Amino acid sequence: MSDSPRTAVSNPPTQPMQSNLGQGDLIRRSATADLPPPTRQLTAVAKLIDVSKCIGCKACQSACVEWNDTYPEVGENAGVYENPHDLTENMFTLMRFTEWVNPETDSLEWLIRKDGCMHCADPGCLKACPAPGAIVQYSNGIVDFIHENCIGCGYCVKGCPFNIPRISKADHRSYKCTLCSDRVAVGQGPACAKACPTGAIVFGTKADMIKHAEGRIADLKSRGYANAGLYDPPGVGGTHVMYVLHHNDKPHIYANLPDDPKISPLVQGWKGVTKYVGIAAMSMMAVGSVIHGVFARPNRVAPEDEENAEKLVEGKPVPPPNDATTSGGR
């Protein structure tokens, strides 16, 4: 078996298999500074979603629910095609439908984008996460939530540039697409890619997927989509879920796909300078207090202070107010 699966279409072998993703494959682990270097470098994988081939059948959603054994609530029809209405802790991927009038052709284009975790090379969720080992990144590019380590704080939600993680109200843990890490670990591709009837979702090495996308983009350009392109946003170091968009010059028309996603500077500042300056400031206050306490003379009440207080209470003469300023605001 090769280190990373090359396709999602193959069927699994019938004999039991060992997982091919282990602790030695981690390149990042949340809230962990001393992660040992990975024991090997896996070939980077990617899922490519060709928006122009998608027919909105939601087979990917069904496959996702089936494989991950989640039970999305039965919802209500609100007059839109999205079902459920948003990603949830039980729905890791969602077809988002946009009716867009192309101003150049004045024709209605029905844009369908499969939303879900993009598996960023520089994951904001992982950066924000305070719980050691709750979010990990494998050397093949998959970003995975390890639920037993998750504390449900919601920091990943703030870190994510794509609004993907959802916190369960039932078990207070965060959920999202795993890129079927458990399938990839045994040489299979993601369930959604396997289920897709039109080949809009394909899976393989990232290099192969970029090459595949180039062919698709050339085809789209030949059909008049001059701005067709690959969505692999550099602001997050590239992603391991990529889109072929027929209008790659304006990703936002696809249900608010960010044009230039990056980890928010607020999150960077919170996890960066605030943390280091904050810890330094608190430590200096504490250490400074101890040093002052040890070396400086304490401010003690003198015996004459007590005597003066006694005289004052007994109505005997005491030193007058020491200057006119003591009258304060009177």
Partner 1 sequence: MVEKIQPGDAIHPGKPVTVDRYGPGARVNHWITAASLILLAISGLALFTPSLYFLTSLFGGGQNTRALHPWIGVVLFLSFFVFFFQLWRANLPERVDIIWLSKIRDLLSGHEENLPELGKYNAGQKFIFWAMTLLILVLIGTGVMIWEQYFAEYFTIPARRVAVLAHSVAAVLIICIFILHVYAAIWTRGTLRAMTRGSVTGGWAWRHHRKWLRELAGQRKTGPAK
Residues flagged as binding site for [4Fe-4S] cluster: 54, 57, 60, 64, 117, 120, 125, 129, 150, 153, 156, 160, 177, 180, 192, 196
* Residue 297 near partner 1 by CB under 8 A: yes
Rounded Cα–Cα distance for residues 243 and 200 (Å): 10
Asked if 45 and 20 count as a contact pair (C-beta separation under 8 A), the reply is: no
Strands 45-50 and 241-245: parallel
Q: Concatenated DSSP letters for 65-121?
A: HHHHT--PPP----SSS-SSSS-BTTBS-EEEEEEEEETTTTEEEEEEEEES---BS
Give the residue ranges of DSSP H helices in 181-228: 181-184, 191-195, 206-222
* Residue 69 near partner 1 by CB under 8 A: no
* Residue 74 near partner 1 by CB under 8 A: no
Rounded Cα–Cα distance for residues 170 and 91 (Å): 14
Window contacting partner 1 (CB under 8 A); options: 93-101, 177-185, 203-211, 316-324: 316-324
* Residue 130 near partner 1 by CB under 8 A: yes
Rounded Cα–Cα distance for residues 187 and 176 (Å): 21
Contacts of 171 (CB under 8 A, 6+ apart): 147, 152
Rounded Cα–Cα distance for residues 138 and 40 (Å): 11
* Residue 325 near partner 1 by CB under 8 A: yes
Cα–Cα distances in Å, from 30 out to 130, 207, 236? 7, 27, 17
How many residues touch partner 1 (CB under 8 A)?
61
Least distance (Å) between residue 297 CB and partner 1: 6
Least distance (Å) between residue 185 CB and partner 1: 26
Q: Which of 81, 154, 240, 241 binds partner 1 (CB under 8 A)?
A: 154
Binding mask 16-55 toward partner 1 (x if CB under 8 A, else -) reads: ---------------xxx----------------------
* Residue 170 near partner 1 by CB under 8 A: no
Q: Which of 17, 80, 218, 286 binds partner 1 (CB under 8 A)?
A: 286
Binding site for partner 1 (CB under 8 A): 31-33, 130-132, 149, 151-155, 157-158, 163, 167, 169, 172, 264, 266-267, 269-270, 274-275, 277-279, 281-282, 285-286, 289, 292-293, 296-303, 305-310, 312-314, 321-323, 325-330
